[in-house]
Amino acid sequence: MAAPPSASVSDGLRLSGWAVGINLLLAIGKVATGIAGNSHALIADGIESAADVFSSFIVWSALRIAVKPADEDHPFGHGKAESIAGLLVSLMLLSAAALIAVQSIREILAPQHSPKWFTLVVLLLVIAVKEALYRFAFKIGRALESSALKGDAWHHRSDALTSAAAFVGISIALIGGPGFESADDWAALAACGVIGFNGIRLLREALNEVMDASVPPEVVGFIRAIAVDVNGVAAIEKCRIRKNGLHLAMDIHVKVDGDLSVREGHEIGHHVKDRLLASQHRISDVTVHVEPV
């Protein structure tokens, strides 16, 4: 069931704008600290934050496009921009996981130097900031049913995970001493599995939206229940629903008494459309077909 609107597109735009600036600062800080503190995991983490700058900018741009009204060239609106952004963000998430994995393996095989203790302080700050960004972005993304925002949220969570893995690895390297220098790289490699799993999950969701896959059965059930409750509707024959950006688009076949006049059947169809557009499911486009019982 779609969540009731508890966030607006402006909230998503504002958060994405903040995320661009925060990710840029974190990327610079992590790379600089990683070089100074001799932590390859922290450098790789900084590279991922740099990728997050672009993903947040993509989400910000897509949301601005998705809310544009329909026009002559796009009679069904611009909602697909949001789904395309979700696709791009999930691909960037998978690319970041692959980049960190390759870098980690390279550093495991190469001679290592122990990282410095002050890298732990920076990592703790990064974990706190990125986890907070994840929670805000995912909350708004879930409220808006935005695959792009939820994908960007997982970019923040993946950054927090790799930073947490780097923290554990660096701690092991510092405590263990000689022979444990590559612990932070092993930790970063382990975090890539979690990032890759979520990247594939988000990619599948975004592809389904681009391919106009049906919404979950429970959503279809709730919407059918709303339509059949309209006075004069005897039954629902068909109900096809797809996600169009931040909203739903659908066509529904309702059965009415065959002895009604065309005008009366048409009025019942209008009542069905009005009831659906006024529901909590953020339906933006409804086509009603009236069939005789």
The tens digit of pLDDT for each residue in 267-277 reads 999 999 999 99
Whole-number pLDDT of residue 257 = 94
pLDDT at residue 3 greater than cutoff 70? no
For the residues 121-137, what does the mean pLDDT come to? Answer: 88
Tokens of 255: 């059965």
Torsion angle, alpha carbons of 259, 261, 262, 268, to 10: -80
Residue 246: pLDDT band (50, 70, 90) is confident
What is the per-residue pLDDT for 208?
A: 85
E-state strands within 204-265: 235-244, 247-256
Task: Assess contact for 202 and 90: CB atoms under 8 A.
Answer: yes
Q: What is the pLDDT of residue 72?
A: 85
Provide the 10 A C-beta neighbour count for residue 138. 18
Residue 191: its H or E element? helix 183-210
3-state secondary structure of 240: strand
Query: Please, which contacts does 259-266 make with residues 24 or more away whose CB atoms are closer than 8 Å?
Result: 260/232, 264/232, 265/290, 266/290
* Average pLDDT for 201-224: 86
pLDDT reading at 174 higher than 90: no
* Least confident interval from 25-34, 38-47, 145-154, 161-170: 38-47
Q: Which band of pLDDT confidence, cut at 50, 70 and 90, is reported for residue 194? A: confident
| pLDDT at position 261 | 92
Give me the amino acid identity at 162: T
Q: Let me know if 159 is exposed, middle or buried by CB neighbors in 10 A (0-12, 13-18, 19+).
A: buried
Q: Which has more pLDDT, 168 or 2?
A: 168
Name which of 287, 286, 285 is nearest 70 in CA terms.
285
Kindly report, residue by residue over 69-116, the tens digit of the pLDDT: 888 888 888 888 888 888 888 888 788 788 878 877 887 787 566 677
> 155 with 16: CB under 8 angstroms?
no
Interhelix angle for 147-176 vs 40-66, to 10°?
Answer: 170
The answer to whether the CB of 119 falls within 8 A of the CB of 33 is yes
Lowest mean pLDDT among 44-48, 93-97, 160-164, 167-171: 44-48
Stated pTM of the model: 0.68
pLDDT of 162 > 70? The answer is yes
Model confidence at 41, pLDDT cuts 50, 70, 90, reads low
Q: Is the pLDDT of residue 7 over 50?
A: yes
Q: Would you say 115 and 42 are in contact if contact means Cβ atoms under 8 Å apart?
A: yes
Helix (H, G, I), strand (E, B) or coil at 78: coil
Share of the chain above pLDDT 70, in %: 94
